[in-house]
Amino acid sequence: MNIKELHKQLISWGKFWAAKESLQGYASTSVTERCCQVLRTGIWASSDKHLFNHQADNLYVPDWIACIDHCLNELPPSHRRVINRRYIKQVKLNSTERIALWHAQAGILAIY
C-alpha cells in the first residue's frame, strides 16, 4: 500500500466514524413511556427496535475499518489525535499538525 491509497482509505474511514458520531435522531416515544403503555393496555403493539438500534452493541464495523482502528491503536496519542482531527472532524490542519499527520501516516504504513 502506498500513501495515496492510505489517504483514500483514511478518508473513507473518517466518513464512516463521522457518520456514527453524528446524531441518529430520537424515538418519538421514550422507553419508559413505551413500557407504561404496554402495562396500561396489555398490548405490545409494535416493535421497539427503533429505540435500541443505535446502541454501540449493535454497531457493525467492517473488517477493513477494524484493521485501520487496530493500526491507530498502536500509534501514540498525538498521532491518533491529528488523524482524528483531519479525517473524522474534517479540521484544516496547520503546518505543525500536517507534519504530525505525515508521521502518523508513516506509522500506519509501518504497522499495516
Mean pLDDT of 31-46: 71
Asked whether the predicted pLDDT for residue 87 surpasses 60, the reply is yes
Task: Please name which of 51, 52, 34 lies closest in space to residue 43, comparing C-alpha atoms.
Answer: 34
Q: Which cell numbers in the block locate residue 101?
A: 499527520
Confidence tier at 59 by pLDDT (50, 70, 90): confident
Give the start-to-end residue ranges of the domains of the chain.
3-22+56-111
The percentage of the chain sitting over the pLDDT mark of 90, rounded to a whole number, equals: 54
pTM confidence score: 0.69
* Residue 35, phi then psi, degrees to nearest 5: -65, -40
